[in-house]
Chains A and B, each alone.
Chain A
Amino acid sequence: MNKTVDQLRAEEKDWEANEVAQFLKKQAERKTQFFTLGDIPVKRTYTAADLAETPEEDIGLPGRYPFTRAPYPTMYRSRNWTMRQIAGFGTGEDTNVRFKYLIAQGQTGISTDFDMPTLMGYDSDHPMSDGEVGREGVAIDTLADMEALLDGIDLEKISVSLTINPSAWILLAMYIVLAEKRGYDLNKLSGTVQADILKEYMAQKEFIFPVTPSVRLVRDCITHCAKTMKRYNPINISGYHISEAGASPLHEAAFTLANLIVYVEEVLKTGMQVDEFAPRLAFFFVCQADFFEEVAKFRALRRCYAKIMKERFGAKNPESMRLRFHCQTAAASLTKPQYMINVVRTGMQALSAVLGGCQSLHTNGYDEAFAIPTEDAMRMALRTQQIIAEETNVTQVIDPLGGSYFVESLTTEYEKRIFDILKEIEDRGGTLKLIEEGWFQKQIADFAYETALRKQSGEKPVIGVNRFVDGTPDPKIHTHPYDKSTAERQIARTKRVRAERDPKLMAELLEKLKTVAADDSQNIMPVTIELVRAGATMGDIIETLKTVWGTYRETPVF
């Protein structure tokens, strides 16, 4: 017969008073209290009594509401997660070579890193772009660049993720025109554009326009894709950058869902029904060092999302309630000293993503504490995923940590705390108001500062930095070189496109863009598609819109 919760608690108390107490007399524990990386206290051990607050139906089954265990009923037994290493440097041609290399190495999806000018909407020959063209990602000014980037890649077989935000809709328009030119059926193409602007104001700090028109651009991507690209993810609502900017895992989770709520509300205002677009909402989270906390975080996120979509937004279609996410190992956890140990860190983090049920995964290169990764570092990172997928057998059973007293208890704790934070955000006046006030930014900065102090004191061990520091020099590392001819090659093509296009048509379309921009009820995608097809540059579009919407400058908090 099963013991009651009271009996279990009494037994645990008895154990504490006897076995534990006696043992502690012989040997004290390392610390008086233990916490997760996100500062949640953890007990010595967990029992079935700790599941008392978790109703059985909240745990449930894979692929069934509330999707705690997995978004799909068969998961990696059918198909492994998509191995999606991000890449981007130089021109479209340069990155295309890396893409093809990664595909040849067994990668199953591609993800594009853009250079800072592209991310911020500047053409490669703008003064602000000096030194930045093709440096930290690939330079894209026009459709011609996009064509070079994706040359020879079968878009029906390989899904493409565009990791870009304030200028995302322009890249989406380029992708659409390219797909049309190549004769693809848009409804068959799968892929993702990140287009999550709110976390930019909070964390990653790539923004161009004020918040209101920026959110409208996101709304326009979502509604346009819902109508014309049935399999495409028009947004990747991201906690990753919130975490990398210094937030706790709990804040990463809660702030991401706060952003979700804003986007859903904006789309609903257009009259679209939640089930018409919610199935294509996608997410992106970090997997970082605290193994079980990360697994619990992913499980709690799925449960919270399901409840929000069903209870708050009245979704009826289960597909609107299942959270799908891309995951990336934590770049901020990588160290320069003893850099090869980054492979181990990344491997552990990747395993938490897989046990947490991710849909796609990027593993970082061991050299990313120096520069953007080399081909060699990316191959090692990809092999790490392939080992998890093919050698460890962790893919055979769905949610293998489900039912763990600790993981289930932490999952429920996460759910509770996430909903508490969402309520606090609402009580304080809502996400958009708090972004303008710098509230999120302050929460993130506080935890980042705390983390820096904990690393300094050694309370947060970092091997090679504050623990097991080794005086012997590391082997010489060969970092990714920057090709100094990049800007010249890139600018030459942009100038050619400008010279070859029809200036009259361009002027007309830019006028039309202004009209559409000024009318919030219109969708900006169709005119943007016309513009990129006619040879508009990123800068043409962005600079025109700055005259309508102005720009955003944050008031920094520290």
Chain B
Amino acid sequence: MSQPIRVLLAKVGLDGHDRGVRVVARTLRDAGMDVIYSGLHRTPEEVVSAAIQEDVDILGVSLLSGVQLTVFPKIFKLLAEKGVSDMIIVAGGVMPDEDVVELKNMGVHEVMLQDTPPDAIVKTLTRLVTERGPR
């Protein structure tokens, strides 16, 4: 039997909008994934070390405060420093289209915006893990 997909969902920075991340957490849990939710107001350092410690397949960061172009470079830098290269990084939230392009260029695997249906999120994450292959 294959291991369930392990996901850390995180809120980084001062943003308190947690409606979306909690809907996603529940959706993924109901789909049989192992879900850890960081809670609010975490730093990139806290999130990256938790993701490594928990050995997750996917780190999902939810942002509705517009700071995606500050937060994700920090996350990638920390991951590189710790020698992590196979973690799937996804973003979610409300952000302009230009930022979505920039995040993908930076190495974010998928950006899922508001109104993404729950099933589509499950499918996307499952696909990303399949594409990555076994670790």
**Per-position 1/0 for A245-268, Cβ under 8 A of B:** 110000000000000000000000
Kindly state whether residue A471 has any CB partner on chain B within 8 Å: no
Contact across chains for A116 and B39 when beta carbons are under 8 A apart? no
Which of B94, B96, B97, B115 is A465 in contact with, Cβ under 8 Å? B115
- B71 interface residue, CB < 8 Å from A? yes
B19-27, B47-55, B81-89 - the one binding chain A: B19-27
- Contact between B71 and A131 (Cβ–Cβ < 8 Å)? yes
Pick out which of these stretches binds chain A: B9-17, B102-110, B126-134. Answer: B9-17
Does A120 make an interface contact (CB < 8 A)?
yes
- What B residues does A555 contact at CB under 8 A? 39
Interface membership of chain A positions 304-339, coded 1 if the CB is closer than 8 angstroms to chain B and 0 otherwise: 000000000000000000000000000010011000
- Interface code B33-63, partner A: CB below 8 Å = 1, 0 otherwise? 0000101110100000000000000000000
Q: B94 is contacted by which of A132, A135, A370, A466 (Cβ under 8 Å)?
A: A370
Contact A448-B94, Cβ < 8 Å, known A336-B113, A462-B115: no
CB distance from A130 to the nearest CB of B (A): 6
Q: Which residue of A lies closest to B35 (CB)?
A: A558
Contact segment of A146-154, A210-218, A450-458, A505-513: A450-458
A187 CB, min distance to chain B CBs, angstroms? 35
Which residues, 66 to 92 on B, are CB-close (under 8 Å) to A?
66-67, 69-71
For the complex formed, measure the closest distance between the CB of A485 and the CB atoms of chain B, giving whole angstroms. Answer: 15
A14 and B67 CA atoms in complex are apart in Å by: 62
Q: How far is the CB of A445 from chain B (nearest CB, A)?
A: 5
**CB interface residues, A 197-243, toward B, < 8 Å:** 200, 204-206
Tell yes or no: B114 within 8 A of A by CB: yes
A448 to B117, CA, bound (A): 13
Alpha-carbon distance A466/B116, docked complex (angstroms)? 10
CA distance A455 to B19 in the complex (A): 15
Question: Is A449's CB under 8 angstroms from B67's CB?
Answer: no
A: interface residue count bin: 35 or more
A contact residues around B114 at 8 Å (CB): 336, 369
Whether B19 contacts A245 by the Cβ 8 Å rule is: yes
CB <8 Å contact, B94 and A246: no
Do B118 and A370 touch (CB < 8 A)? Answer: no
B67, A132: Cβ atoms closer than 8 Å? yes
**Measured between alpha carbons, how far is A203 from B78 in the docked complex, in Å?**
31
Whether A482 pairs with B66 at a CB distance below 8 angstroms is: yes
Instruction: Give the chain B neighbours of A120 by CB distance below 8 A.
Output: 14, 41
Bound-state CA distance A205–B15 (Å) is 8
A residues 335-394 with Cβ under 8 Å of B?
A: 335-336, 369-372
Tell me whether B22 and A116 are in contact (CB under 8 A).
no
CB neighbours of A244 from chain B (8 A): 19
In the complex, what residue of chain B is closest to A555 when comparing beta carbons? B39
B22 in contact with A131 (CB, 8 Å): no
Give residues of chain A (29-68) contacting chain B, Cβ–Cβ below 8 Å: none
Give the shortest distance, in Å, between A357 (CB) and chain B (any CB). 28
Given contacts A371-B95, A452-B27, A479-B96, contact A122 B39 (CB under 8 A): no
Does any Cβ of B come within 8 Å of A429's Cβ?
no
Q: In the bound complex, how far is the Cα of B97 from the Cα of A477, in angstroms?
A: 9
The answer to whether the Cβ of A77 comes within 8 Å of any Cβ in the partner chain is no
Task: List CB contacts (< 8 Å) of A423-460 with chain B.
Answer: 444-445, 448-449, 452-453, 455-456
Show 10 residue pairs from A and B whose CB-CB distance is below 8 angstroms, ordered by the A residue: A131-B67, A136-B66, A245-B18, A335-B115, A371-B94, A452-B118, A553-B39, A553-B41, A554-B39, A558-B37
Q: Which residues of B contact A (CB under 8 A)?
A: 13-19, 21-23, 25-27, 29, 37, 39-41, 43, 65-67, 69-71, 94-97, 113-115, 117-119
Q: Which 9 pairs of residues, A with B, have the shortest CB-CB distance?
A: A131-B70, A205-B16, A116-B14, A456-B117, A558-B22, A558-B25, A131-B67, A556-B39, A479-B96
Further pairs besides A117-B14, A452-B23: 14, Cβ < 8 Å: A120-B14, A131-B69, A204-B16, A335-B115, A370-B95, A445-B26, A448-B19, A452-B117, A455-B115, A466-B117, A553-B41, A556-B39, A557-B22, A558-B22
